[in-house]
């Protein structure tokens, strides 16, 4: 039976159920030879409401759906899932292979260190850490003690380190962190400037981790060789100078710091024979705090997650037909401070006994080189990463037959781009096609997934096995239902799942929950379409939020408010434009000055330079990543027939070359100089000296 005939019979069966045509129901069921769980779905009375009918359920195994969710802390759950594969490799760090057996031991060592330092149940440990083995040890080691791991972006996001440090200080105060773990260079850039303030808060020591702690001679040589191969000998020499300088700065800090600096490597030796007391499982206990962009201010918004949230998400992946088989190598590039990284890649990857290739410093330009060096089976990332593969010279003649799971999230992809990537994979001998999903930090990342028959082009698949989606009117928030003459409905997605954050931190409501028909949901602000099979297609964000090429969420109204603080600005509209050199979106700001303000082209460049310095780089509440990369001066903004700002018209305007450009020296580790460049190539530079 062809796929088309099968799907047509399923549609006929659904119609027969509606009309209660018993004879036709039995005839079609006999032809289809449906599994019992699908038979039950098509035999029930349909309401038209997706969250009640759950048309997607027929794609999942009923025995899995009946399984009880785990009741364990994340470490015990991970260990139980991997114990049969304990001799397999859990992590590869520049050639240093760490087995699951070693992972368990190293986690216990981390618990000993933290216990010796004083960490107790419910204490919050703020982490400024990249993707290195110690970050994983400390995650599970903290959980084993009943503590809470609080992850913040370890990158300075301002050319002024004092500004970045003040942002971290405010997060430490607001989120009540008692302990801090930091990579040495993150300590120098973001903790060193605020040591006196930390001491006033009662924080008297900092645990310092070095990226070389888990490097043996082999991995050290591999790191140096990889740097030279990926970025060139010149970059290697520069990094070696930086490493030497950082070592000198750390030695100086150890002598002069007002806070005790505790080297993690030394603590491991001191605590080797010490003991600790695991706290065991406690229902709904806070375990991790990750961060996303704020909803009412540009500051990062904390997302509290429990053991149950993380485990509920991972449990679903075992029933969602994901290709995460034991022993598979997975590139680990997504960061810990994002739920997509810590839950979907780290916790899920470990629980599936994957080998996580640690990538502490990632540039999309090196993705092809990473792929060819490590030959991973699994890559999970943002759409722009996979689009960049198409033009990557390293992959031009590559055999990618080893790839089995290529998944994107965090943003949507145009259908024509999805077709291009799938063709690229096929042309390079890979049997897999792009899979994708929809989700949020608030849902532990992925909440829907597209694979197999429900991996339609442009769609984000169906709800995960233990997740429920519904659609509401974006204005009234009333539930929407399928009409008999319609194949789909459009509205704002709302989600219900045990993986969803409780949304409350220290009695402050961060993510409101709402109840529909007895189920607990959160609003997403995502406008989407769902067809009668439960397949979802993302359409837009109701608050005009979009995602930069690197996965950073751009909340347009936040940037507009920052820019409009300048007294000479009448209107400011921020919208996305496609930056071809980055294979993704970047923000452009359209500015209308007040009627009495007239500027020449050169004065406009100076004006934007001063605006960036005053309103962004010198503002502790704003990230450098929120600076628009283009500014466009205009006399007025386009309006709709109703007299409202026509945001779509602005977003569709083509670049003319008359814009003022902003170029930022930016990696996932640091921010360098900022250049403001006018149409006539005249430029102004904001350097770190500012």
Q: pLDDT by residue (tens digit) across 525-541?
A: 999 999 999 999 998 77
Which pLDDT score is estimated for 652?
82
Residue partners of 33: CB distance under 8 A and separation at least 6 = none
Strand blocks (E) in 238-374:
260-263, 286-293, 300-306, 329-332, 355-358
Is CATH 3.30.43.10 the classification given to domain 546-686? no
Q: pLDDT by residue (tens digit) across 561-581?
A: 899 999 999 889 999 998 888
At the top level of CATH, the class of 98-282 is alpha beta
CA atoms within 13 A on the CB side of 207: 26
Q: How far apart are the first and last CA of the chain?
A: 70
Q: pLDDT by residue (tens digit) across 406-443?
A: 999 877 788 988 999 999 999 999 999 999 999 999 99
Q: pLDDT by residue (tens digit) across 301-324?
A: 899 999 999 999 999 999 998 999
Q: How far apart are CA 401 and CA 381, in angstroms?
A: 19
| Residue 629 scores a pLDDT above 90 | yes
Q: How far apart are CA 309 and CA 464, in angstroms?
A: 14
Query: Is-contact 188 162, C-beta < 8 A?
Result: no
| Residue 1 scores a pLDDT above 90 | no
247 to each of 97, 159, 160, 359, how far by Cα in Å?
26, 21, 21, 22
Structure tokens at 532: 């009668």
Structure tokens at 141: 């080691």
The residue ranges of every structural domain in the chain are: 3-65, 98-282, 546-686
Phi-psi region of 518 (alpha: psi -120 to 50; beta: other; left: phi over 0): left
Q: Considering just the CA atoms, what is the radius of gyration of the chain in Å? A: 26
Q: What is the mean pLDDT of residues 602-618?
A: 90
Q: pLDDT by residue (tens digit) across 167-197?
A: 899 999 999 999 999 999 999 989 999 999 9
538 to each of 16, 130, 226, 587, 617, how far by Cα in Å?
30, 31, 38, 20, 34
| Residue 376 scores a pLDDT above 70 | yes
């Amino acid at each position: 039976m062809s796929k088309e005939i099968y799907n047509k019979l399923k549609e006929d069966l659904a119609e027969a159920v509606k009309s209660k045509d018993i004879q036709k129901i039995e005839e079609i069921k006999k032809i289809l030879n449906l599994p019992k769980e699908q038979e039950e779905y098509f035999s029930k009375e349909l309401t038209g409401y997706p969250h009640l009918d759950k048309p997607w359920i027929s794609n999942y195994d009923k025995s899995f759906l009946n399984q009880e969710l785990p009741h364990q802390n994340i470490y015990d759950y991970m260990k139980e899932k991997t114990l049969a594969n304990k001799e397999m490799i859990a992590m590869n760090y520049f050639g240093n292979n760490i087995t699951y057996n070693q992972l368990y031991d190293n986690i216990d060592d981390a618990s000993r260190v933290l216990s010796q330092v004083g960490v107790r149940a419910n204490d919050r440990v703020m982490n400024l850490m990249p993707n290195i083995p110690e970050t994983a040890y400390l995650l599970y080691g903290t959980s084993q003690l009943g503590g809470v791991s609080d992850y913040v972006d370890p990158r300075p996001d301002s050319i002024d380190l004092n500004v970045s440090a003040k942002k971290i200080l405010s997060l430490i105060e607001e989120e009540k962190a008692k302990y801090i773990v930091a990579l040495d260079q993150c300590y120098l850039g973001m903790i060193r400037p605020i040591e006196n303030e930390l001491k006033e808060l009662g924080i008297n020591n900092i645990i310092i981790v070095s990226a070389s702690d888990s490097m043996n001679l082999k991995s050290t040589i591999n790191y140096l060789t990889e740097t030279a191969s990926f970025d060139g000998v010149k970059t290697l020499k520069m990094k070696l100078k930086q490493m030497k300088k950082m070592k000198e700065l750390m030695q100086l800090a150890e002598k002069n710091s007002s806070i005790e600096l505790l080297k993690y490597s030394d603590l491991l030796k001191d605590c080797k024979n010490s003991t600790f007391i695991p706290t065991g499982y406690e229902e709904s206990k806070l375990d991790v705090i990750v961060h996303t962009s704020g909803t009412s201010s540009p500051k990062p918004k904390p997302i509290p997650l429990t053991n149950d949230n993380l485990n509920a998400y991972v449990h679903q992946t075992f029933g969602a037909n994901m290709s995460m088989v034991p022993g598979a190598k997975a590139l680990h590039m997504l960061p810990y401070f994002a739920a997509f990284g810590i839950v979907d890649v780290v916790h899920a990857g470990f629980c599936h006994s994957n080998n996580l290739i640690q990538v502490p410093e990632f540039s999309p330009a090196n993705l092809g080189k990473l792929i060819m060096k490590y030959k991973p089976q699994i890559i999970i990332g943002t759409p722009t990463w996979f689009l960049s593969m198409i033009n990557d010279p390293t992959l031009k003649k590559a055999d990618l037959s080893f790839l089995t799971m290529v998944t994107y999230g965090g943003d949507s992809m145009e259908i024509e781009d999805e077709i291009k990537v799938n063709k690229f994979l096929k042309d390079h001998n890979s049997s897999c096609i792009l899979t994708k999903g929809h989700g949020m930090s608030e849902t532990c990342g992925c909440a829907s997934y597209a694979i197999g028959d429900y991996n339609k082009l442009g769609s984000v698949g169906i709800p995960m096995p233990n997740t429920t989606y519904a659609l509401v009117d974006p204005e009234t928030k009333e539930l929407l239902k399928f009409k008999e003459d319609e194949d789909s409905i459009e509205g704002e997605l709302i989600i219900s799942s045990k993986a969803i954050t409780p949304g409350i931190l220290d009695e402050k409501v961060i993510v409101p929950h709402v109840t529909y028909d007895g189920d607990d949901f959160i609003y997403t602000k995502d406008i989407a379409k769902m067809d009668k099979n439960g397949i979802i297609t993302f359409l837009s964000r109701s608050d005009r939020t979009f995602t930069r090429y690197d996965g950073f969420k751009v909340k347009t109204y936040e940037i507009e408010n920052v820019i409009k603080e300048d007294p000479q600005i009448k209107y400011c509209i921020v919208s996305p434009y496609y930056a071809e050199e980055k294979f993704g979106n970047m923000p452009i700001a359209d500015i209308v000055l007040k009627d009495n303000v007239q500027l020449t082209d050169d004065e406009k460049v100076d004006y934007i330079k001063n605006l960036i310095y005053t309103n962004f780089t010198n503002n502790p509440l704003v990230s450098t990543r929120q600076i628009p990369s283009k500014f466009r001066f205009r006399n007025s903004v386009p309006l709709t027939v109703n007299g409202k700002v026509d945001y779509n018209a602005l977003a569709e305007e083509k670049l003319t070359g008359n814009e003022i450009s902003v170029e930022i020296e930016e990696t996932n580790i640091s921010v360098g100089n900022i250049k403001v460049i006018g149409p006539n190539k005249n430029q102004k530079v904001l350097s770190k000296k500012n």
